[in-house]
Structure 1
């Protein structure tokens, strides 16, 4: 069971139906379901991590994790519904899929994201995970508002050839063709990156060469991977300081 307290925030593993109901309601709020709960068939296979503000008290953040023991198991992940991940079946070592990451819209404190990464660092160190991965979401299921960010990802953060996801979902925006004649405004592109994805990239993360339209959740997403061995040492020290 994961348990990490820092200041006013607590990250912990959900422990009962009330915890799960609160988590699914927050997901519904953040992913466009209004007052309805967001659930899917992967929930039963995942551990659910809650981030609570003890001063209110309230649930202010959430993510779920799906541990995979070997590369071949990635074909049974949530992300594999949308991306051809056959190259990653050769990846050596355990993996951890991070999903449905969300922060309550009324609680924008960056410390919530920090404690989430501290909790993930605890998990990685305890289990020997070598790859973090998932679908990093952009708000809204239209490409136009995100073209600057997509251009930055295409130019600087493409996946290594040996691990690169291939297209699978029929509805997608291909960076190579869709951005062929577009110039890059880097400050604007950086500003459009979702906070979670920005953190992935600071840790040496990489992304797919296309974004997938998710009409159900009203988002677009890119496959994102972070190889633990590639995290810059200074960044790793900061993460372990939060996790300690």
Structure 2
């Protein structure tokens, strides 16, 4: 009698760094489809329909792929402190005065241009992306992670100001760890209609223990408010540290989905 061994389920989503020019191009095309096509950002994508800038060549591009279809469904790019020196600075320096970041002790890295395909904005995909980020932090010994989380301004900024009010009350850094936006978000002329929910990326940041470093930048090209978020790795929420840094992706996915 033949005894069949139990089958292990292969994860649907996999995360890794882009290894070829074609894979980097695919992440840039995903960025363009979301930022320009969906959000209306003013981007000259050329004939190939890509979102690219002078920082891309200095970044490592982390991507989440659907193992069933092979499609890239989420991506972010990582700019380390060493790479930023070669690039002439961090991307966020185009929006904020980052003097505070340069004074932090230890190693820092920036994530940016983070996006997830509309049909995959679930806990599973976002958790898989953060798993890759967390593995990079621990493997390479970074002390701080920072980046911008965007809030859309389709309603004129009412929802953004409501979210910023929540951040000021619960998730703001100490005064010594603030950054200054070069173009602060202007006041909205009305209150939001109905309940307001944090965008998935911003929600993931605060769930992990990151804090907002002051007022938002008004990104007129992307029609959004950018909130500068800082995560001190030593302050990582213990619940999420256990899931992201010590256990498997299935548990990390559950942690984000329940956040």
Smaller-chain TM-score bracket: 0.7 to 0.9
Deviation string 1:18-75 (CA, Å, 9 cap, x unpaired) is 1112111100011124682111111011000111001122111110000115999998
Q: 1:57 aligns with which of 58, 70, 79?
A: 70
Secondary structure of the structure 1 residue equivalent to 2:206: helix
Unaligned runs of 5+ in 2: 1-8, 39-44, 253-259
Q: 1:220 aligns with which of 225, 232, 236?
A: 225
Give the number of aligned pairs.
Answer: 230
1:130 equivalent in structure 2: 143
Q: TM-score, normalised by structure 2?
A: 0.80
Q: 2:124 aligns with which of 105, 108, 111?
A: 111
Question: Does 2:2 match 1:10?
Answer: no
2:170 equivalent in structure 1: 156
Q: 1:93 aligns with which of 77, 96, 106?
A: 106
2:248 equivalent in structure 1: 242
Secondary structure of the structure 2 residue equivalent to 1:55: coil
1:23 equivalent in structure 2: 27
| CA 1:70–1:25: 2 relative to 1, 3 Å | closer
Contact 1:114–1:242 (CA under 8 A) maintained in structure 2 = no
1:195 equivalent in structure 2: 200
| CA 1:233–1:6: 2 relative to 1, 3 Å | farther
What is the Cα-based RMSD across aligned positions, in Å?
2.9
Contact 2:179–2:213 (CA under 8 A) maintained in structure 1 = yes
Give 1:82 shift. Answer: 0.8
Give 1:199 shift. Answer: 1.2
| CA 1:138–1:6: 2 relative to 1, 3 Å | farther
Secondary structure of the structure 2 residue equivalent to 1:239: helix
Larger radius of gyration: 2
Contact 1:53–1:60 (CA under 8 A) maintained in structure 2 = yes
Q: Hey, what's the Cα distance between the residues in 1 that align with 2:227 and 2:27?
A: 23
Contact 2:58–2:87 (CA under 8 A) maintained in structure 1 = no
Secondary structure of the structure 2 residue equivalent to 1:106: helix
